[in-house]
Structure 1
Amino acid sequence: MSTFDTLDDLPPDVAQGLRAGKLAPYLGPGMLSLCLGSTPPADPLALAAVLTAKVSVPGKIRNRLTAAAQFIENFKHRKTLVKAMTEAYATAAEPSPLHHWLAGLRTPLIVDAWYDDTLRTALAAASDRVDWAEVQGLSQSEHFGTWAGWYDAQGGAQPDPIEAPTLLYKPWGGHAPAANFLVSDSDFVEVLTEIDIQTPIPASVQLRRKHLGFVFLGCRFNDQLPRAFARQIMKRSAGPHFAVLPDAPTRMEARFLAEQGITRIAMPLAAVAAALTQPASVAA
């Protein structure tokens, strides 16, 4: 059986690779733990609690985000689900130093697999940056046949793909600028039906990953959805890959790390953030 490496320190190659645009950040909901002040829901369980506080759902699915979202969509209409998601992520988190550091990189690709606007806010706050664009996954229940929506740095919707030096890719959609959310069972079934042949993944993302490895920050792989998306987004990428995962991985996480050749960095995310953002890490 394959094994994966576990490191107790942050390899210099990680900071160097991110800085050089050879490693792409892949962000998960855990990144919100680095933000001070109020934040929107920062994991599937917290989001499920917010949604089910607005709409009553059966107790057996109350803690299952995608099932609860599907119930709301089925019995209260898709518009009710989108409204609840929009309200849940209306609270704007203050970007952490790591968000700002990542926004300052000229990396070709940033993947952000959660619904908050924090990285977008950090990119917009970088006064010397207008050279980025965003592409978001779209729900087929609202955009049948169209898998991705494109937006410029000002948040304007664009009819065609944008070739910008930095591309922010939000495969699950996001609050801003257009309230696109993949969250219900049917949303994910539609994508997962096609993702193995890469149809939902924008061609520009597929092209850029050929030369990149990924650094997973704030991600867990203890559910099939994040594993499925990470596996397909990483497909045919150059590597190497790293995941900041301080807690001992579950059996399925360990299998996924080994299968994908991902090196585990067993450090708290806050410690990794501090190491990356200290002056020595940003010096040329």
Structure 2
Amino acid sequence: MNTILTSGHLVVVQDSFAEKLLDLLKEALAADAVIPYLGPGLLSLSSAETPVPQSPEAVAAALNTRTPAPSKIRTNMWSVAQFIEQARHRRTLQAWMAEIFAAPAAPIVLHAWLAKLPLSLIIDSWYDGAMRAALADAGRTDVVEIQGVTRVNEFGDIWTKTYDLAESELEPGSAAKTVLYSPHGSIRPAANFLVADSDYVEVLTEIDIQTPIPEVVKERRTNRGFFFVGCRFNDQMLRTFARQIMKRSEGPRCTIMDAATLTKNERRFLAENAITVIDMPAGVAAARLVGAGTAAEGARTKHGGRV
């Protein structure tokens, strides 16, 4: 079957329909009509061993090796981080997060391909900085990165900080051809992390009225769609941010995910937000987007290989 319409009105496309939709998304990305929304799962497509965690659960595990959290919260990154902040102080949590993400995560081919496109906006929802590195590697001088910052160490109405690719902090509101928006922060250049529950208290209070979201993001999403790659939505925090960032966007909205592994909450979220699921191994989809690899390589990726 090529297309599945679930009882919750979730659209899932497979086989030739999935390939055709990917081809259309490739054209839309090249035309700056779709915004890539990148998640930690992209790192799993690397051909090399990735030196940083590839999921919130992996971050929770890394933090637990430094100080064990209570068993009932041990797999929840945000709760483990909050436990450490309360038990060991914010400075300790900050230092440990910086250690965990210290090793540079090399951009994959998809990062490099996106870096060369004339995109107005890229969303990077993970801390590793690989998309930033790809933009720098491409020699881009027309990019600014806006990162979410914790309010714990700030005074005044500060939600984000802005940087260029040379790691200099810029004035708020600075814009460029491409805006890289990292709503949860990033390891580089200043190790900004929204990770503990306390980091999100005011953000979640205000996010329904869009206050923490930069004006340039609101402007550039209006007449564009969203393309989620490497993302999961199995936690309320992840769903809330994605929902608010794509709010009032025009569409279409698509994601590459394994339909068989979707949770009930993920299915509901995707259906409610009209996000079409491209049911295809992420490595195969990435190779098709960038035009890399042969059919044989795609088959190997489908059965557990990487690209």
TM-score, with length taken from structure 2: 0.88
Distance 1:109 1:229 in 2: 16
Gap regions ≥5 residues in structure 1: none
Partner of 2:120: 108
The corresponding residue for 1:190 is 202
SS in 2 for 1:133: strand
1:132 aligns with 2:138: no
2:286 to 265, 273, 280: 273
Aligned to 1:254: 267
Matches within 5 A, 1:204-219: 204-219=216-231
Please list, as runs of the form range in 1=range in 2, the aligned pairs for 1:1-284 lying within 5 A after superposition: 2-8=8-14, 9-10=18-19, 11=21, 12-35=23-46, 36-127=48-139, 129-144=140-155, 145-248=157-260, 249-278=262-291
Q: Is this contact kept in 2: 1:99–1:118, CA < 8 A? A: yes
Distance 1:160 1:4, change over 3 A: same
The AA in structure 2 aligned to 1:227 is R
Alpha-carbon distance in structure 2 between the residues aligned to 1:205 and 1:96 = 25
Gap regions ≥5 residues in structure 2: 1-6, 294-307
Q: Verify the 8 A CA contact 1:61 1:67 in the aligned structure 2.
A: yes
SS at match of 1:196: helix
Contact 1:133–1:150, Cα closer than 8 Å, also in 2: yes
CA shift, 1:2, in A, is 4.9
Superposition deviation, residue 189 in structure 1: 2.1
Provide the C-alpha distance between the structure 1 equivalents of 2:172 and 2:11, rounded to a whole number of angstroms.
41
**Does the 8 A contact of 2:44 with 2:50 survive in 1?**
no
TM-align CA RMSD = 1.4
Change (3 A) 1:59 1:4: closer
Offset of 1:279 from its aligned partner?
Answer: 6.3
Give the length in aligned residue pairs.
279
Residue 257 of structure 1: how far off its partner (Å): 1.0
| 1:112-131: CA deviation from partner (whole Å, max 9, x where unpaired) | 1111011111111002x111
Identical counterparts, % of pairs? 47
Task: Judge conservation of contact 1:38–1:91 (CA < 8 Å) in 2.
Answer: no
> What is the distance in 2 between the residues matched to 1:230 and 1:264?
15
**Residue type of the alignment partner of 1:276:** L
Poorly superposed stretches of 4+, deviation over 4 Å: none
Larger CA deviation: 33-42 vs 70-79: 33-42
